Structure 1
Amino acid sequence: MVFSKRLLNIIALLLFLQWLDGVAPHKGFAESIDDTRVANSNASKVVDEELDALMELDLEDLLVTVASKQDEKLSDAPGIITVITAKDIKNYGANNLMDLLSRLPNVYGYGTAAGMNSVTSIRGQTLGFQDVHVLFLLNGRPMRENVAGGLNIPIYSTLPLNAIERIEIIRGPGSALYGTGAFSGVVNIILKNSESEEANAFQAGYGSFDTKTAAGIVSGKKDDWDYMVSGNVADAEGWRFSMTDENNVNNTTSLNQKTHGMVAHASKNGFTFTGASLYDARQNLGSTPNWPISHLYEIRRSMFDLQYEQELTQNWKATWNFTYNLMDLVNSTDTDFLSENMHVEGAVRGKLFDRVNLLAGGVYKRLGDDPGVGRTFWVNEHSLYAQADYDVFKSLNLLVGLQLNKVRKVDYDLSPRFAAVWHITPELGVKTLYSKAFRSPTAGELKVFTASFIGNESLRPETIKTFDAQIFYKKSNLFTALTYYDSRQKDTIELVSSGAAVTPRNGEKVHYQGVEWEWKLKPEREWEFSGSLSYQVNENDSGSPDVGRISNFMAKAGVLYQSPQGYSVGLFNSHFSDAQRINSARRVNPEAEAYNLLTLNASMDVPKKMIPGGWPDVRLNLYVDNLLDEDIYFPEVIRGIINTIPIHSGIGAFGQIVLKF
């Protein structure tokens, strides 16, 4: 019943917005839909042809914004960046954002007893169960919460994939522009607009584990407004979760889950609004992995941003942003959390002497946190940042940047960055980068005191310094890049046992090194091959290796065939080597051994002669997850008393019908 009500609400909203766009008032509904289908079909065909032509002209010179807060070619951007496009999502399929991120070079997604699909590790630089080293942005604006620093489950599970134009992922620090939390990576999710492909569609699906889904997207232009609204709803009984707990009790249950989410984007005359409302309710064991399951988590993440861009002169402009984030976690048996923050930012950008680009800005943050203690703690933070890049030659660009931060537990801290991007030839180039990032302690780490967690108010921010060197080669149908990185982490915030509870402390230094090779090849219009190989090692001052438990070696590869007859088949396999064992843990569950996560995505555009008159274009889709039906386990990193827990379902198939207006 709840699922049906949410679905009806979404359908009603989408139909109302479609009516606002001027469809309903002019003709009968069926006739209007038919005309709209023909017009949009022709427009989509033109867009598809333009995108295909762009792909053929330059496969990987896409525009990105995440590295410098401005549009620039991927090959020019001062960062180690990979892009997931809307076409990638359509062709290879996914159930959620975590599925997409886990296909990236040197990226590992996992869950804990406190929540499945809850942590993203980039370059193995995650030490435990908190998702605090990767910063998420929505259209370039931060999606933050201050209590745990990374209760991102609703983002992973609920953010509508049909609303995504592209995802820009930096592997490496980003604090020089984005402040705390941009530690080992930054994920910038760019939403569609009215000119995007499949920006007016409705879809419904059913699949394994009694999974029911529905989603819709509406976009358009009206009275100088360009808008997009997308929503989804899902209800699943959940996959069978089986394990032996700390009390040597073995049990099996289904982890049921209910989600709904909505994102929106609108712009007019220099003003831009971006918003998201995401909700996830699920069963979990909790921070203590013992049966029976008694925890029901309800997590709400909301974010909105209002931006005004002002032209100052021909070469200079100012940008003003007000961003608000809210996180509300309701736990049926344990501590409830509430976090809200207000973020005011102003920046100016311009050009000097034709060769120098300048960016300078300031941020004021008002943070309010209730880490389950019944009162809200308010903290003020502020920062200043500046960045300049200089075209030494047409083929060589140098960049220097700096952020000055005033955050909790620190008077002031500097986060610098330096970069050089050299195009040796039009096809061959080199990037060298150095940057520093930091992560402030969260309110939870400082002030939560429960039976299972003891806060530490003397914590200092942890920092990381990273050197990257990349050589890349690009042609019209090929992109490949080889990257080496070296990272040094200091004042590492780690969890240590304190009786029956765990407590955070500043621990040892950690040294990370690794290599990453990625590629994408499109030898013909119908075929595409992509993938990556990565290897990373790390150790702390005591000489203990692989302190993050993440797989050292990852091999990921996808192959796509797109038929001119309107169907496509995409296969993607991700191989992960063994995870590092917790030596002191009891061996009560299967070990976290190497595995292959193979997915299949098949889609078909239904021939128009088979579609009833007045119907929109129709696509049928089948997505199969874990095609090899692997048993996938990961170390139990919260308490480390038992060795592992299962983190992924067995094989699952999910069918979907998409109506494209």
Structure 2
Amino acid sequence: MFDLGENHMKSIRRSLWPVLLSALCVLGPAAAQVSLPAAPSSGRSDLGALDLESLLHTKVITASKFSENLADAPGVISVISQDELRRFGGTTLQEVLERVPGLSIASAYFTDRSLVAARGDQTKINGGHILFLINGRPTREVLEGGLITDLLEAFPVNALEKIEIVKGPGSVLYGSNAFSAVVNLITKKAEGNGITVSGFGGPQGMAGNSGQVMVKHGDFSLFGAGQFHQMPTWNTNYVLPTSLIGDPVAPVVPLVQNLTLDDRGDGAYLGASYKNLTFMSSFTESHAPSFVRGSIASNKWRRGFADLGYTVKATNAWDMSFNATYTRNTFDNFGYPDIGRDSQELVLEWTNSITFSNWDRLTVGALLNHVEGQETYFGIDPPIQISDGSRPGGAFYAQWDHQLTDTVKLVGGFQVNKVEGTGVNAVPRAGVVWNPSAHVGVKALYSGAFRAPSINETLLNHPGLQGNPDLKPEKVGTLDLSVSYQANRFQGALTYFHSRQTDSIVVDTTPVRWKYENLGEATFQGFELEGNYYLRKSLFVTGSVTYQRNRDEDGDTNITPVPNVGVKGGVSYRAENGLTLSMFDNYQGGLRGFTEPTMNPGPTAYHMLSSNVRYDLSRYMGSRDKGGVALFAHAENLANYQVWLPDWGNNSGDTMPVNRGRTVYFGVEFSLGRE
């Protein structure tokens, strides 16, 4: 069956070098020349040719649905640029997102094994408080309300141009699940004709391959990418938690199980455009184990995503777009409790961006959506359907940007939405963006968000747990206060946040037959300090320090399986001869409140140290303009910490395996044409 690997986590001390890197990033402006960054040149895929100003002059689109400077955007935003993606690499999207300030890896026991938590918020046993976008279009799982394992483990990283992460609520523009963060996966676009393929492998069965193709002909462009990976074999012992011994509703299992854990994924993306018409589609599939009441089973997640869009310029100042977006998710569990799920969402949206003057801009839109899903229990013969439902919904939203003075911008917005079976719901946004100089920015923002009840939460008909059709949406209100600084070599920001969640949907265990209810409240607050610094074009340093604390309505603290402290730092050298050397360390502190003795290894602090090496041989082969060859090596978790985290949602008081330890692979890349 599965191997959880013997996870003897050692007690560790915090390493100093991520802290020093963070300090260097914060102090970097003292050594940087101060000049206004220039706009980046477009259509240049050779990052080595970009100057320092272009590398740090950041444009973002997610916060307002139109392109604007990072300093002007009404949100606290981290950007993983194409330069950083190439320098530090990464096998999966989760590995890439671990480097983002304020994001932490997390896991749950059953239906969503791979998670990222924003600002400590992992109150759910799934990813329902983070909304993922693909080029600005939402992709949601609607039966449970937010499964994201397949995206984190199987979305092709080689398809990405950059990633924008808006920390805090985003429901005004993006609706349900844009609760604690919005992650916008922005893919590459064809700027020429070319093809790239790569293969890699390593010890203990590590293997993978990837490829991408670009076609550009007149007004038509096409970009496609795919990736497969098989992680190394992980053999481990899993000890049945004391609280689960003799569980009357679970199968009898040995007290000690020797397991071989499966961890693999494959994904593909395709994007095409012709004049004002666009189409994109993606597929992701992930395989990993689950840990339900001591029984180890195999899970398979699948997601199909498609979007058809059309843009039109109604007037010189009025841009209009129409989108039809479809997501289908399936989940299959092979073992106990032996269930299968199938759900889908269709969104029809009309979006407008209207520029009234140099001082005023309005984003306004409306949408209709339809969700449906079913869950089947295969543990008896014949199988029975324990959830089956559908519902329509709709929303209207608007956001106004008003330039009050040359240095002060006011932002206000709202979304009004209606889901069948619930009342009309509204969430607000308001803020002030002040740029007193070309290099200093101040933001004071308040935003609300919601997560609509899922199909299972309203309609589930399980013998031990029932849905509640009277549920209200979960709500959150977040205050962000941020100060940022940017020069031609440096970007840095310090942010304080305070979030209050209400009407949290939880399982009420007081009746004989458990039931979903709006019972929970939680408060999160903390700070994020982050910086990026190019000492020179070839040498890049990045670092961050984050802290969060939380409590519920009863005054209990540390209510989620996320550390209070995170320290991250990376350094990368990219030489003109084609050699790139990079290292990144992600330190996650111990889990307060989850350190009681366990049968399995405890959830102690750990360092996730990674390295990436790439050597482009094209210049030595005289083929740089027509293609080339590159060698690469990547290592994750060099310190070899086997990470075990609380089996969140299983209520056993014990842990489960999450990271196998050191993973190393070597590969070669071949390319023809130009990107």
Deviations 1:283-318 (A, max 9, x none): x234x1414x3x332221011111110111111121
Q: Which runs of 5+ in 2 are unaligned?
A: 1-40, 246-254, 377-384
Contact 2:304 2:327 in 1 (8 A): yes
Amino acid at match of 1:344: L
Could you tell me which of 594, 601, 604 is aligned with 2:612?
601
Q: Does 1:192 align with 2:191?
A: no
Rate the CA distance shift 1:342–1:115 in 2: closer, same or farther, 3 A.
Answer: closer
Q: Which runs of 5+ in 1 are unaligned?
A: 1-42
Contact 2:401 2:411 in 1 (8 A): yes
State the partner residue of 1:48: 46
Query: What SS does the corresponding residue of 2:46 show, helix, strand or coil?
Result: helix
State the partner residue of 1:641: 652
- Following superposition, the deviation at residue 641 of structure 1 comes to 1.2
Contact 2:558 2:593 in 1 (8 A): no
Rate the CA distance shift 1:435–1:205 in 2: closer, same or farther, 3 A.
Answer: same
**1:227-376 alignment, distance < 5 Å:** 227-236=222-231, 238-246=233-241, 247=244, 249-282=255-288, 284-286=289-291, 288-291=292-295, 293=296, 295-333=297-335, 334-372=338-376, 373=385, 376=388
Deviations 1:431-489 (A, max 9, x none): 11101001111112223344675434443211000010100000000011000011111
**1:335-484 alignment, distance < 5 Å:** 335-372=339-376, 373=385, 376-450=388-462, 453-484=465-496
Query: What SS does the corresponding residue of 2:301 show, helix, strand or coil?
Result: strand
Could you tell me which of 121, 125, 145 is aligned with 2:141?
145
Contact 1:60 1:74 in 2 (8 A): no
User: Which structure exhibits the higher relative contact order, with contacts defined as CA atoms closer than 8 Å and separated by 6 or more residues?
Assistant: 2
Rate the CA distance shift 1:657–1:535 in 2: closer, same or farther, 3 A.
Answer: same
Distance 1:500 1:617 in 2: 66
Rate the CA distance shift 1:218–1:125 in 2: closer, same or farther, 3 A.
Answer: same
Aligned residue pair count: 611
Rate the CA distance shift 1:502–1:654 in 2: closer, same or farther, 3 A.
Answer: farther
> 507-516 or 109-118: which moved more?
109-118
Distance 1:84 1:421 in 2: 22
> 434-443 or 456-465: which moved more?
456-465
Q: Does 1:576 align with 2:588?
A: yes
State the partner residue of 2:214: 219
Distance 2:515 2:659 in 1: 28
Rate the CA distance shift 1:296–1:428 in 2: closer, same or farther, 3 A.
Answer: same
**1:97-246 alignment, distance < 5 Å:** 97-114=93-110, 117-195=113-191, 200-236=195-231, 238-246=233-241
Contact 1:320 1:345 in 2 (8 A): yes
Distance 2:618 2:402 in 1: 53
**1:467-506 alignment, distance < 5 Å:** 467-495=479-507, 497=509, 504-506=516-518
Query: What SS does the corresponding residue of 1:591 show, helix, strand or coil?
Result: coil
TM normalised by structure 1 equals: 0.88
- Following superposition, the deviation at residue 322 of structure 1 comes to 0.6
State the partner residue of 1:25: none
State the partner residue of 1:77: 73
Distance 2:132 2:393 in 1: 19
Rate the CA distance shift 1:396–1:298 in 2: closer, same or farther, 3 A.
Answer: same
Amino acid at match of 1:330: D
Deviations 1:221-268 (A, max 9, x none): 124211101112233463234321235622232222443211011111
Rate the CA distance shift 1:449–1:218 in 2: closer, same or farther, 3 A.
Answer: same
Amino acid at match of 2:658: I
Amino acid at match of 2:476: I
Rate the CA distance shift 1:502–1:243 in 2: closer, same or farther, 3 A.
Answer: farther
Amino acid at match of 1:441: P
Distance 2:468 2:650 in 1: 17
TM normalised by structure 2 equals: 0.86
Rate the CA distance shift 1:50–1:260 in 2: closer, same or farther, 3 A.
Answer: closer
Contact 1:422 1:430 in 2 (8 A): yes
Distance 1:514 1:216 in 2: 41
Distance 2:49 2:261 in 1: 40
Distance 1:346 1:622 in 2: 45
Deviations 1:311-366 (A, max 9, x none): 11111121101111111222224121111111100122211143110111101001
Q: Considering only aligned residues, what root-mean-square deviation do their CA atoms show, in Å?
A: 2.5
Query: What SS does the corresponding residue of 1:154 show, helix, strand or coil?
Result: helix
Distance 2:143 2:593 in 1: 29
Query: What SS does the corresponding residue of 2:158 show, helix, strand or coil?
Result: helix
Contact 1:237 1:255 in 2 (8 A): no
Query: What SS does the corresponding residue of 1:94 show, helix, strand or coil?
Result: coil
Rate the CA distance shift 1:505–1:60 in 2: closer, same or farther, 3 A.
Answer: farther
Distance 1:571 1:502 in 2: 48
Distance 1:76 1:93 in 2: 29
State the partner residue of 1:22: none
Contact 1:371 1:443 in 2 (8 A): no
- Following superposition, the deviation at residue 613 of structure 1 comes to 12
Rate the CA distance shift 1:647–1:534 in 2: closer, same or farther, 3 A.
Answer: same
